[in-house]
Amino acid sequence: MKTRLASLLLALSLLTGCQAANTPPPSTTTTATTTTSTATSTTTAEGTTTTVTAKQTTTTAVTTSTRITYRTRTTTTTTTTAAVTTETEEITMTSTTQATTTTKQPTTTTVNPDAPLEGKTALFVGDSIAYGYATNGEGFAHHVKEMWGLGQALNGAVNGAEVTPRKGDTQQYIYNQLKTFTFWKFDYVLLHGGVNDSVGKPNFPEDVPLGTLSDDGNYDTSTFAGALEKEISFALEAWPNAKIGYILNYDITDPIYRPRMNEYIDMIRKVCDKWDIPTLDLFDGKLCPSADGSKLVTIGERYDTTHGPNEFMADQFHPTAMGYEVLAKYIGEFMISLG
């Protein structure tokens, strides 16, 4: 009996060992799920807007382990789920560029055919007649600007000024008046002078000699001709793009001054002709009505030596405001003729 039981136990042991040797290993299955991000680019008329959207990405790993136990003939399934979650946020980046249009203003002045001097710039130099001795400095520059609409009219004239430097190296030397404005730009430069130079004895110990035109570029500024050539030469060099003209003074009827003034006016004509400088000749110009209204006379002749000042002349040299208005009309027309 014992022998038979031992044999059964031995057989059972061999059978169990064989089954254990033939048991397959657990099987493992892994699956993964991935969600990708997207990017969108949109172009608009004003600029470019780029939106980047990062969606939530989750990776899930599923592991299934299956073990078969023949000994008990039962199936046990173990499922392990590992979830890895990446937290993201939606980011929107917007870049907007607005188109800006800049219009550059023209550098040249638009000419109004009805007002050709409107907005122009001008420099006036000369003596007390150009300055405005009897009108508190409102001379050529002021009245031409008001009548013709200049944008800027600078009054560089000085009372008592001369073409020659007889009174020293001051602003009464018209050449120095020009030097003061060397670095300014003008559309027009209007020169005037010669009245005080023509006033010799008894006002000054010596007369200013007329001189002669230079033929070698050396100007004798002790003479009227030499000083005037230096003045004009400087103006042409300083303002090569400006319209330069010379205003010849109206006639002075005073018997002391008139004879010599005629000689100086004639020299101005000769110098300007040499340098091709246009002139406004007021000396013989009949610009205003006579006292009785029967004819036109020069503004200088309009001065009534018997009755004194009148509406046009404050004295035998200097205009009133009304006198300047008469002159401004002709000066403006002269400037237009220069181009």
Instruction: Give me the residue label for tokens 């789920």.
Output: 81
pTM above 0.75, yes or no: no
pLDDT of residue 315: 86
Q: How far apart are the first and last CA of the chain?
A: 151
Beta bridge partners of 244: 189
What confidence tier does 114 reach under pLDDT thresholds 50, 70, 90? Answer: confident
Average pLDDT, the chain: 73
33-42, 237-246, 280-289, 299-308, range with the lowest pLDDT: 33-42
42-56, 259-273, 276-290, 315-329, range with the lowest pLDDT: 42-56
Domain positions in the chain are 25-95, 121-338
Q: Look at the alpha carbons of 13, 15, 18, 24 in this order and tell me if their dihedral is positive or negative.
A: negative
How far is CA 137 from each of CA 72, 121, 156, 159, 324, rounded to the nearest angstrom? 130, 18, 10, 9, 11
In this structure, what are the phi and psi dihedrals at residue 176, rounded to the nearest 5 degrees? -70, -30
Let me know if domain 121-338 sits in CATH 3.40.50.1110.
yes
State mean pLDDT over 203-219. Answer: 85
* Closest C-alpha to 182, from 154, 219, 151, 216: 154
Q: Most confidently modeled of 17-21, 32-36, 290-294, 311-315?
A: 311-315
Strands 188-192 and 152-155: unpaired
26 vs 306 pLDDT, higher one: 306
CA dihedral 39, 44, 49, 51 (to 10 degrees): -30
Reported as a single tens digit per residue, the pLDDT across 5-16 is: 445 444 445 444
What confidence tier does 288 reach under pLDDT thresholds 50, 70, 90? Answer: confident
Listed in sequence order, the residues at least 6 apart from 50 whose beta carbon sits closer than 8 Å to its beta carbon are 39, 40, 41, 42, 93, 94, 95
